[in-house]
Structure 1
Amino acid sequence: MNPKVLKTLEYQQIKQQLAPYLVSAAGQKELNALQPQSDQAAIQLALDETNDGAEVYRLKGGIPIARLADIAPHMKRLAIGATLNGSELGQVGRVLKTTRAITRFFDDLLEDAPENEIRHLFDEVQELVTLPEVTKRLATAIEGDGHITDDASPQLSSIRSNISRTEGEIRSKMEHYTRGRDSKYLSDPIITIRNDRYVIPVKAENRSRFGGIVHDQSASGQTLFIEPQAVMALNDRLRQNQVAEKQEEQRILEELSNLISPYQDEILQNAAILGHFDFINAKARYAHDMRATEPQLSADNQVYLRQARHPLIDAKKVVANDITLGTDYQAIVITGPNTGGKTITLKTLGLLQLMGQSGLFIPVDEGSRIGIYNEIFADIGDEQSIEQNLSTFSSHMENIESFLKQIDQRSLVLVDELGAGTDPQEGAALAIAILDAIGAKGTQVVATTHYPELKAYGFNRADTVNASMEFDEETLKPTYKLLVGIPGRSNALDIAQRLGIPRSIVDQARSLTDSDSQDLNAMIADLVAKRKQVEDEQVYLKEELADSDKLHRELKSEYNAYQQRKDQLIEDAKVQANDIVEKSKTKADAIISDLRKKQLASGHSVVKENELIDAKGALNALEQQPKLKKNRILRRAKAQQDFHEGDDVLVKSYGQRGVLVQKMGQHTWEVQLGILKMKISDGDMERVKPEAEPKQARAVVRSANASHVSPNLDLRGVRYEDAMTQVDRYIDAALLAGYPSVTIVHGKGTGALREGITDYLKTNRQVKSFHFAAPNHGGNGATEVQFK
């Protein structure tokens, strides 16, 4: 990509946002070299790696990369035979230690994330070389800050022990001077060091008191730093041990440098791979924090960005837009006034393309698609150069002239305010000619403009579509929503009037405006309003559909769980039943065998009656009875359903007491309700205690309020058989409720239901008369019934 477009679209700021997520120098170096690519395989590989990083971040919180310094200079020094110092060896050791940790991490990750979910990282981690012996030796000898440990060698450990012991002896002797009666001859009762030897601060006038050597004096000359004669031998021994320590440390550094020297290439390769993992980690975390998703690649540059958001604008303020290019049209002309968001829309499209072609996830909804452009050219903003003495118009023309020579079918051109900065008529004509020239080369282009002439251009040119940024009609403020297919309208006169310009001036301006322009603006306003209505309805329908789909999935899941539970219960019941049957067969066989034995023992074929009764009782005992003894509610319910002739019952559907006359079927009884005998299901009855005082058999009359029976029965929409059943039960209920008359609404329809009801009423002995309702009460669609 040309450097100019990277600067114009602020690509460097994306890299700056990504930098804080890095922890290694190699990762930072890879970020510095990051550029958009045009090779599809390379882009897809980079996107796959970002996806792998996102999966690892989701599962494990990211790849555990430690902070790693740049070891390339150390390896160069090692290559020319130099000895690395402790800090440099510590940094190399950290690379090897991290290499071993990353290898183990991916071995563990393989159990939680199958290889088909991680596209490339499992293969790339195989390229790491662990060098376990070298890693262990460095970890033992060198700490992270470069300090050589006591375990680096037995000689070093012994020397340091001698140093510590000697220092203890020196301090012990010198404490006699700082704490005893000689302390009064000191400037301060402390022990300090000068020229790597332990000394005490002595007042100048007491110099001869302690003997020894003067190593330093204070600025005033009043204090001398003296090594007392008594500790000179100990200081000499300490100095000898310190020299031996330095020599042994240098020997260890040479040994360790020689140890890693044969593995320079492997260590450099490990550092590069770890830096690459660090970069992948950073891309994944950046995508997570930005709520970005992986874009699909379109080899034929069919761009579809769903709810695209500019990555450099605050996520709480940015407005998302759908941007489509290259499918139904190759050019978009965005018209409308300033401050509506046209420039941001251009930058969003261009910057997201650069990010996607760099292997970064982009802030769009899932299912989005980007193109693969060899070049993106952008002419956005006022690039007027005072030094070159170029006007705004001249600057834009230079930019456009430069990329007109380079564009082809795999280019994307973004032009802001095309043709601006000169005479409007000439600028509009020039803009049209430039768009035609770009289109002739098959290049995709998105351009913004103020010129109304380009609205017609968007309608008349093939593969070109108009677009605009939505304005709120009430507040006349931009909503920053992109409206594709609708040209922008000018709101200048409305805004001027709202800002306080006198109405007379605004009206005069409208009178001077071309009527065709006013008609076009009115048409645009109508299109915008209708489009907004359709989009609002679409959003509502999508939400309703999503809720319905969610409910359907939940119901389906619950139904499947219910079916599985039911099937499991049936299987369990079958197993239990088979177990009972098997036990029963075993006991029955034992009983039969016992009978045969008794028969043989009696000497004849006749078994005594009492023995047969006992055997039958044993067989009956095999029957499994439900355990109701400990459940009072179940016992009460069973008792209430245990009906016999003559029992008093409550018919629940009518709320009436009655007496059982005889059983009509397996679950049906004939019940005497007053003067009526009705066929009632046993599920609709409940056994009750007899009334305290017997009453004469007569019809029980209850109020309508008590019976809850309506004086009207509406049968419209009810099937014939169900309707006739309802009529039969309704007439009985109405008689019990004491109604003198009722109305049955059956509708007109084909007349079949009306005839059926008429035939039924003729045969019912409780019906005195019936006739169709008055015209204002339904006419022949309803029948009024009078009872005796």
Structure 2
Amino acid sequence: MKPLVLDKLQWPTLLDLLAGYTQTTAGKDHCLELKPNLSRDDIELGWNQIVPLKNLIRTGYVPPIGDIPVLTSTFRGASLGQTLDGESLREVYGLLQTVKSVQRFTTDFAEKCSTLVKFDRTIYPLPHLATAIETAISPEGEILDSASPELLSIRRKKLSLRKTIETEIKGLLSDHEVENYLQDKFFTVRSERYVVPIRLDGRGRVKGSIQDTSDSGQTLYIEPEAIKPHNEHLLELELNEKLEILRIFRELSAQVAADLDTLKANYEALVELDILSAKARLAANLDCCAVTIHDQPCLKLKGARHPLVTTPNGGKAIGNHIELNSENHILIVSGPNAGGKTIVLKTVGILHLMAKAGLLIPVEEESEIFLPEEIYLEMGDSQNIEANLSTFSGHVLGLKPILEQAGPRDLVLLDELAVGTEPQTGSAIGQAVLECVADRKALGVVTTHFDNLKGLAMSDPRFRNGSMEFSVETLKPTYKLVLDIPGQSHGLEVAEQMGLPAHVIARAKDLRGESSTEMDRIIEDMLAAKEQAKQERAKFEQLRMETESQKFRWEQDREALLKAKEKASEKIRNVYQNQIDKLKIEFRDQADQFKKLVKKLPSGDQLTELKDEARDSRRSAENKLSALESNLQKLGDEYKLKQDIPGEPVAIDQLKVGSKVYVVSFEREATVTKVQKSPPAVEVSVGLLKIKPALQELRLIKNSKDTKPAKKRSTSANKTQKIGFIVPSPTNSIDLRGQDVERALEKTWAFIDKAVLRGETQLILIHGHGTDVLKRSIRTALTKDSPYNLDFRPGEKEEGGDGVTVVQLIL
């Protein structure tokens, strides 16, 4: 990617923002040098690591890495066998302490964040080395007394000897013979020896050797003869101390060298984690996410935001939808000045740079991108004073390589194309340039005010219009991109908003006149059509929501009815079963009594009579038991629908619009109205009702006669005698008189549905006589359209005669 393109797309500024989230110097240096040149595999691998870490960071947890210094030179010195100083050793100790903290963090959060698993297994805090350095080296890099017993012994001897020397030399300074020749009444150290300052005229008065003189030559620094042996011993101790310190440094350096591979792995792991953490923190703060990467040139950016643009109150930039593909591969963005056209163009550019560098991008998750091999950027302000080029000349020079080199896998960004010259010529050049770019099949985004470029999208499918929205109420841009509608410049409105004098604005309006350009009229018509379409969509959405709500309520009612039906049948089964159990007990009791009688009675006619009587009792009990078991079996058969379901199980490939099916849960025949192969889904019509049952609820009917509707319900012709007399009440009767047929049937089914839910089984429908139309319609519907098993008959005289229909629900 050319450095000039990176600069114009503000890539260095984004890297500064990213580097600000790092904690280590090495991590910061890496982020500042990040290049947008990764392969698709490397990008997706990086995203898979960043996303879990981003989610963890959003909960408030950040890896505690801290500021680890660059240890490259320290590691190099240890590998060459050099002796490390105290500061370098303390840096190694700091690294190990960070490793210890990070390891606790990775252990605690590895289950929540898969990215941390690798680091939890990679780093090791080397506690033996950390303890050795901590014991020997102070935070300031100095050797501690605890570094070794020998060092502690030497330093204690030095301290004791110094006290002895100072005591003796203080006694010397108090001597009257010496006191008269002292320059100052103090002692000092010269050439690592304790000395006293004597005036030049006191030379020879104090026994000892001269170690130094003052700059003026008037003061002699003499080592007294009496403390010379002590000074010699002190020098010997100091030499031994230095040798011991050197030994300790060498020993610690050797330990560092021995663990160098682990230390390097720790350091590299922490820097890598720091870089990943910075990328994740950037993504969390900008609401970035991973997207789908396509091999073929296309992009669908949903809610795309420029990462460096904020709103006036500090919020995130406005998100826009930008979509291009192999057919519509050049977006022409128009609209008012300062309306956001250039921001949209730069957003497309910098988001692709972020993706190619392995960063998550600020869009919605449903977005899609491709990885351009090259990004070409040319802006209409390409003035070059040093090269003696005007704005237009510099612009044309920038267009030349694009027209010669851009290809199908490149992204072309042209801002204010062909400005800087006479408008008619500029617009002609602009159109020719865009047609050339389109011929080269590159994806592109261009901003313009030229009407002829806006018109390209209306005549050439390779182009697509987009406009920056402008609020005529506030006279301010909204920064929202509207696809497929060209934009108006709103030049006068913007000039007025920016404070151009009112009389100048008025004169401009007079000069322009009241008539709009043809393009303005086209745009206004398109906006009006869009608004109308928006309103129609709103109406459709409202209707869809109401339909869904009604369907949901219907499903709930249907579920309740099915449950009530099952509950009623279970209740009946329980009643029968209880009676059977009682009869079985009674039968067993009678059998036992019979056996006892047989044993007690003698043979003869009396015994024969008793045997006959017992046999009759037994046969009576058996008949009762058999009758009840038969009734229970019939009831069970009635509800075991699968044994008698018409048709055959069906696969999705066997269905087509118009196929006849049987819906098991409805016990009704239906017609297929819609078939979806993947995922499998079917819509069927049951009368006027359309439903979407599960595929396993359907049976394919090759012949509609197979549905056997007569088995489902009885008619009044053959079951009337089973319906007993009913006393009307408010809960078991409904008055339908005076209703039209459609309304009366609607109320009838609603009344029966509620009765089923209450467990009512005997109902009265009051329809009157009239012309018999309502009566016939109700009874026909009960015969042909009822979803329930039921019988019905005309009312008895006491019930209302033929003016009512008595219904018996068989639950």
Both proteins in one fold, TM over 0.5:
yes
| Residue 454 of structure 1, CA deviation | 0.7
Aligned to 2:357: 358
| Residue 63 of structure 1, CA deviation | 2.3
- Asked whether 1:341 is paired with 2:340, we answer yes
| Residue 150 of structure 1, CA deviation | 2.9
| Residue 309 of structure 1, CA deviation | 2.1
Query: Normalising by the residue count of structure 2, what TM-score does the alignment of the two structures yield?
Result: 0.60
| Residue 467 of structure 1, CA deviation | 0.6
Is the contact between residue 295 and residue 371 of structure 2 (CA under 8 Å) also seen in structure 1?
yes
With 387-396 and 194-203 compared, the bigger mean Cα shift is at: 194-203
**Cα gap change, 1:131 to 1:530, in 2 (>3 Å):** same
Aligned to 1:519: 521
- Asked whether 1:158 is paired with 2:153, we answer yes
Aligned partner of 1:465: which letter? R
| Residue 365 of structure 1, CA deviation | 3.3
**Aligned pair count?**
584
Is the contact between residue 30 and residue 276 of structure 1 (CA under 8 Å) also seen in structure 2?
no
**Cα gap change, 1:249 to 1:341, in 2 (>3 Å):** same
**Cα gap change, 1:407 to 1:191, in 2 (>3 Å):** farther
**Cα gap change, 1:181 to 1:130, in 2 (>3 Å):** same
* Deviations, residues 370-422 of structure 1 (Å, cap 9, x unaligned): 32222212113523111111111121222221233332222111110111112
**Cα gap change, 1:502 to 1:271, in 2 (>3 Å):** closer
- Using the aligned pairs only, state the percent identity: 33
Aligned partner of 1:241: which letter? L
**Cα gap change, 1:529 to 1:258, in 2 (>3 Å):** same
Q: Distance in 2 between matches of 1:537 and 1:195?
A: 100
Q: Distance in 1 between matches of 2:201 and 2:537?
A: 99
Is the contact between residue 497 and residue 506 of structure 1 (CA under 8 Å) also seen in structure 2?
no
Query: Any residues of structure 2 matched to 1:100-499 within 5 Å, and which?
Result: 101-103=101-103, 105-110=105-110, 112-113=111-112, 118=114, 121-123=116-118, 126-128=121-123, 133-167=128-162, 196=192, 236-314=232-310, 315-316=314-315, 318-326=317-325, 329-380=328-379, 382-495=381-494
| Residue 104 of structure 1, CA deviation | 5.1
Q: Distance in 2 between matches of 1:535 and 1:225?
A: 104
| Residue 241 of structure 1, CA deviation | 2.5
* Deviations, residues 442-492 of structure 1 (Å, cap 9, x unaligned): 211000011110111021112321011111112322111111111011322
> How large is the RMSD of aligned CA atoms in angstroms?
5.6
**Cα gap change, 1:151 to 1:296, in 2 (>3 Å):** farther
**Cα gap change, 1:202 to 1:385, in 2 (>3 Å):** farther
| Residue 349 of structure 1, CA deviation | 1.6
| Residue 101 of structure 1, CA deviation | 4.9
Aligned to 2:639: none
Is the contact between residue 467 and residue 486 of structure 1 (CA under 8 Å) also seen in structure 2?
yes
Is the contact between residue 21 and residue 282 of structure 1 (CA under 8 Å) also seen in structure 2?
yes
| Residue 10 of structure 1, CA deviation | 0.8
Look up the SS of the partner of 2:469 in the other structure.
Answer: strand
Q: Distance in 2 between matches of 1:179 and 1:312?
A: 78
Is the contact between residue 493 and residue 510 of structure 1 (CA under 8 Å) also seen in structure 2?
no
Q: Distance in 2 between matches of 1:442 and 1:81?
A: 60
Q: Distance in 2 between matches of 1:459 and 1:232?
A: 106
Q: Distance in 1 between matches of 2:157 and 2:229?
A: 14
| Residue 341 of structure 1, CA deviation | 0.8
| Residue 178 of structure 1, CA deviation | 11
Aligned to 1:20: 20
Q: Distance in 2 between matches of 1:196 and 1:240?
A: 11
Q: Distance in 1 between matches of 2:126 and 2:402?
A: 53
* Deviations, residues 150-201 of structure 1 (Å, cap 9, x unaligned): 333222222223334445556677888999999x999999987665566789
Look up the SS of the partner of 1:389 in the other structure.
Answer: coil
**Cα gap change, 1:300 to 1:751, in 2 (>3 Å):** same
Is the contact between residue 38 and residue 372 of structure 1 (CA under 8 Å) also seen in structure 2?
no
Aligned partner of 1:481: which letter? K
Aligned to 2:568: none
Is the contact between residue 15 and residue 31 of structure 2 (CA under 8 Å) also seen in structure 1?
yes
Is the contact between residue 64 and residue 102 of structure 1 (CA under 8 Å) also seen in structure 2?
yes
- Where structure 2 has 5 or more consecutive residues not aligned to the other structure, the ranges are 557-727, 732-738, 753-772, 776-797, 799-811
- Asked whether 1:40 is paired with 2:35, we answer no
Q: Distance in 2 between matches of 1:202 and 1:224?
A: 5
Is the contact between residue 489 and residue 524 of structure 1 (CA under 8 Å) also seen in structure 2?
no
Query: Any residues of structure 2 matched to 1:680-699 within 5 Å, and which?
Result: none
**Cα gap change, 1:177 to 1:442, in 2 (>3 Å):** farther
- Where structure 1 has 5 or more consecutive residues not aligned to the other structure, the ranges are 557-677, 682-713, 725-749, 753-762, 764-788
- Asked whether 1:509 is paired with 2:518, we answer no
| Residue 13 of structure 1, CA deviation | 0.9
Look up the SS of the partner of 2:405 in the other structure.
Answer: coil
Is the contact between residue 303 and residue 363 of structure 2 (CA under 8 Å) also seen in structure 1?
yes
**Cα gap change, 1:515 to 1:65, in 2 (>3 Å):** closer
Q: Distance in 1 between matches of 2:366 and 2:188?
A: 72
Look up the SS of the partner of 1:474 in the other structure.
Answer: coil
Aligned to 2:804: none
Aligned partner of 2:44: which letter? Q
| Residue 530 of structure 1, CA deviation | 5.6
Look up the SS of the partner of 1:21 in the other structure.
Answer: coil
Aligned partner of 2:136: which letter? A
**Cα gap change, 1:464 to 1:250, in 2 (>3 Å):** same
Look up the SS of the partner of 1:148 in the other structure.
Answer: coil
Aligned to 1:628: none
* Deviations, residues 287-315 of structure 1 (Å, cap 9, x unaligned): 22333333333333432323222221234
Q: Distance in 2 between matches of 1:214 and 1:406?
A: 86
Q: Distance in 2 between matches of 1:375 and 1:79?
A: 43
* Deviations, residues 588-624 of structure 1 (Å, cap 9, x unaligned): xxxxxxxxxxxxxxxxxxxxxxxxxxxxxxxxxxxxx
| Residue 7 of structure 1, CA deviation | 1.0
Look up the SS of the partner of 2:412 in the other structure.
Answer: strand
Look up the SS of the partner of 1:405 in the other structure.
Answer: helix
Q: Distance in 2 between matches of 1:214 and 1:531?
A: 108
Q: Distance in 2 between matches of 1:165 and 1:527?
A: 101
Is the contact between residue 55 and residue 284 of structure 2 (CA under 8 Å) also seen in structure 1?
no
Q: Distance in 1 between matches of 2:58 and 2:750?
A: 60
**Cα gap change, 1:6 to 1:172, in 2 (>3 Å):** farther
Query: Normalising by the residue count of structure 1, what TM-score does the alignment of the two structures yield?
Result: 0.61
Q: Distance in 2 between matches of 1:526 and 1:679?
A: 61
Aligned partner of 1:87: which letter? E
**Cα gap change, 1:293 to 1:200, in 2 (>3 Å):** farther
Look up the SS of the partner of 2:394 in the other structure.
Answer: helix
Query: Any residues of structure 2 matched to 1:578-593 within 5 Å, and which?
Result: none
* Deviations, residues 85-117 of structure 1 (Å, cap 9, x unaligned): 22223323433454455445434434x43xxx5
Q: Distance in 1 between matches of 2:343 and 2:355?
A: 18
Aligned partner of 2:24: which letter? S
| Residue 526 of structure 1, CA deviation | 3.4
* Deviations, residues 243-262 of structure 1 (Å, cap 9, x unaligned): 22222111222223333335
* Deviations, residues 320-368 of structure 1 (Å, cap 9, x unaligned): 2222233762110001231111011111121122112212222333333
With 412-421 and 370-379 compared, the bigger mean Cα shift is at: 370-379
Aligned partner of 1:146: which letter? G
